[in-house]
Structure 1
Amino acid sequence: MSSLAVTLTKHSGLGNDFLVLEVPAEQVADWPANARALCNRQSGIGADGLLLLSKIDNANLTMRLYNSDGSLAEMSGNGIRCLAQAAYMMYGHTGNVNYMVATDAGPRHVEVEPLNATTIHASVDMGLIGSLDEPANWNTLGTNPDRPVAHISVGNPHSVVGVEDVRVVPLKELGEKVPQINLEIIQPGPENNAITMRVHERGAGITQACGTGACASAWAAVQWGLVPAKSSEVIVHMDGGDVRVKVNVPQTGHVTLIGPAEYLSTHQAEIIL
């Protein structure tokens, strides 16, 4: 078994942390095993996922995401902001920059605004929202039929459930019953155009924040009337912090995610080829 010495950077999108590794697009390695080893918080560096960054040119990038359990994820709203920040720092860009990022969920347009040496503000067109069938084993959650539920695609699968108080829901227990999806629970407020959300992510468990989950939840909240129907922007409060989601922007059926990404540290490691 051969290995390769590499340098990774660690970034956080509201406490949802990722390791970013720049690699040639054709680089072959045991990425699931590398993700499990590098993301392990006891024996590795520790993170919610491993992001592989490849540069096509100054404005075009590719992103591939492996969750901490080694599974492949199509898309991450917090992850893509972290990837954009890594590229911004790595390639010495200055001022406001636009990237087109090729992901397994399709191309995503990212606008980057630097706030300081370690933090950016990014706006991401997360693409078209779609509907999904009820996931397998959903009935094991015992959800009240009167409770609002939506199964939504933001390039990856989400199930959103409306509740009275997100703090009292046994989210870990419920999320483990449907590990193939990202499970969000939401309640309205505290502001008129806001919701509060907690998430159990596919392949990572309970996390501090989830960008695609915030998008799915904001979309559902508008459909259910948890926020005013005319709200073009929904504030989503999560344990790790807040993002803003613009609904039907930049076009009908799309959502745009707006939030920060923060550089945390740089690490040396070896990957398994």
Structure 2
Amino acid sequence: MASKIRFSKYQGAGNDFILVDNRDNSFNRTDEVLVKSLCDRRFGIGADGLMLLQNKENYDFEMIYYNADGREGSMCGNGGRCIVAFAHDLGIITDKTDFLAVDGAHHAFLSAELVNLQMIDVHEFGRDGDAYILQTGSPHYVSFVTNLKEKNVFQDGYSIRNSATYANDGINVNFIEKEENGYFLRTFERGVEDETYACGTGATAAAMAVALQMNLEGEIVIPIRVLGGQLYISFHKKGNSFTNVFLKGPAQFVFEGNF
């Protein structure tokens, strides 16, 4: 690996990421200590996660995602939107793309400053008391609450994520509340082990939970407001199956440099 790492910083609704063009395979994918140090907000660049953009046969590129704890993670929706913007800025793609991530192939397209990312289809869900359990590329616990603005998301999310049920594999914990023009969502993310400003797979899971709770059917668009901005989740729902799932929101370049 080179002594200096060339990186770009992107954010999607406040969910921020370090992006590295690793088409030359110079970044050591097994160096968890390095990834964790780069994501450290006091001693590194600072981010919710790090992504490598790599060559992949039959695709425009491959997305390798790491959580802020340094470990390779499951799918990150906002990260997926940011790496699409990164690939566009590198000149790898124009206005649409097909790329590979840990949960399979993804299609995406860009419109203005928004990235529309196709997520995986979902055909089943679980329940834990009143909460919904959904796998949208990452595992999510979704609970409907009131007075979400005042909720201690770190304390309550940490407690659920580290409970006997979820401690081994971990789970992302989402709290959602109805508001005038859609829904307000706050998320405690595993791997970050803290509340984040946004979570794309979490917003997707929350929107599906809304459709299940409200017994909605057909073509659906759910506006989800997060701490960092506005996301829109669309899908076709038939029974308990969700297809043609898209996560739409901003993905913006912040800065670049060498570390």
TM-score range for the pair, normalised by the shorter chain length: 0.7 to 0.9
Q: Aligned partners of 2:174, 2:93: CA distance in 1, in Å?
A: 35
Identify the residue that residue 264 of structure 1 maps to in structure 2: 254
1:152-193 superposed Cα distances (whole Å, 9 cap, x missing partner): 0001100000111212322111222215111000011222xx
Name which of structure 1's ranges 97-106 and 212-221 shifts more when overlaid on structure 2. Answer: 97-106
One-letter amino acid matched to 1:52: L
Q: Aligned partners of 1:170, 1:81: CA distance in 2, in Å?
A: 28
Unaligned segments of structure 2, at least 5 residues:
163-169
| Seq. identity, % | 27
> TM-score if structure 1 supplies the norm length?
0.82
Q: Does the alignment pair 1:200 with 2:188?
A: yes
1:99 aligns to what SS in structure 2? Answer: strand
Unaligned segments of structure 1, at least 5 residues:
139-144
1:5 aligns to what SS in structure 2? Answer: coil
1:73 aligns to what SS in structure 2? Answer: coil
Identify the residue that residue 142 of structure 1 maps to in structure 2: none
One-letter amino acid matched to 1:203: G
Q: Does the alignment pair 1:223 with 2:212?
A: yes
One-letter amino acid matched to 1:127: I
Pairwise CA distance, 1:29: 3.9
Identify the residue that residue 40 of structure 2 maps to in structure 1: 40
Pairwise CA distance, 1:259: 0.8
One-letter amino acid matched to 2:208: W
Change (3 A) 1:126 1:102: same
2:173 to 183, 189, 195: 183
1:1-273 correspondence runs (5 A): 4-24=3-23, 28-56=28-56, 60-91=60-91, 94=94, 97-113=95-111, 115=112, 120-131=113-124, 145=129, 148-177=130-159, 178-179=161-162, 180-191=170-181, 194-204=182-192, 205-225=194-214, 232-248=220-236, 253-254=242-243, 255-269=245-259
Name which of structure 1's ranges 228-237 and 59-68 shifts more when overlaid on structure 2. Answer: 228-237
Kept after mapping to 2: 8 A contact 1:130/1:153:
no
> TM-score if structure 2 supplies the norm length?
0.86
Kept after mapping to 2: 8 A contact 1:31/1:66:
no
One-letter amino acid matched to 2:51: L
1:94-137 superposed Cα distances (whole Å, 9 cap, x missing partner): 5xx21111111111111123x3xxxx311111011254667xxx
Q: Aligned partners of 2:24, 2:142: CA distance in 1, in Å?
A: 34
Change (3 A) 1:266 1:58: farther
Kept after mapping to 2: 8 A contact 1:218/1:247:
no
Kept after mapping to 2: 8 A contact 1:130/1:152:
no
Q: Aligned partners of 2:92, 2:206: CA distance in 1, in Å?
A: 35
Task: State how many pairs are aligned.
Answer: 245
Q: Aligned partners of 2:23, 2:96: CA distance in 1, in Å?
A: 21
One-letter amino acid matched to 2:122: I
Change (3 A) 1:57 1:72: closer
